[in-house]
């Protein structure tokens, strides 16, 4: 699976949009981009995923560049409860089902 690169940490003011970048320059055409987050030591929480089109759900938006080499997760109005480690994972679904986790981005939402 393609390797992803994320900043180690980011800060965001409460109520503002949090934009979390992810580089996946070696992504293949059949690989999806997944985002999860882990709040403190809880189980990872699925946020969103996409292939080539931008996606939006009740939690976030996912913007994937046209060349698919990078993406951005957007939390439109961050709250203190969004403080977590955010993981960007690229996954080739026809080569097994495991998720390969990096160290993610530690997002701190400040009051």
| Residues of the shown chain interacting with other proteins in the complex, contacts defined by CB under 8 A | 30, 32, 34, 36, 41-46, 49, 51, 87, 93-94, 96-104
Give me the least distance between CB of 69 and other proteins, in Å please. Answer: 19
Number of residues in the chain: 111
Give me the least distance between CB of 82 and other proteins, in Å please. Answer: 18
- Which residue number, 14 or 38, has a Cβ lying nearer to other proteins? 38
Residues 61-75, buried b or exposed e (16+ Cβ, 10 A)?
A: bbbbeeebebbebbb
């Amino acid at each position: 699976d393609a390797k992803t690169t994320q900043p180690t940490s980011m800060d965001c003011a409460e109520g503002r949009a949090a934009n979390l970048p992810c580089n996946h320059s070696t992504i293949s055409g059949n690989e999806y981009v997944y985002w999860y987050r882990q709040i403190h030591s809880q189980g990872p929480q699925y946020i969103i995923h996409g292939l080539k089109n931008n996606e939006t759900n009740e939690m976030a938006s996912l913007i994937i560049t046209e060349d698919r080499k990078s993406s951005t997760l957007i939390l439109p109005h961050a709250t203190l409860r969004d403080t977590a480690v955010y993981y960007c994972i690229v996954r080739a679904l026809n080569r097994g089902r495991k998720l390969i986790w990096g160290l993610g981005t530690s997002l701190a939402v400040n009051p």
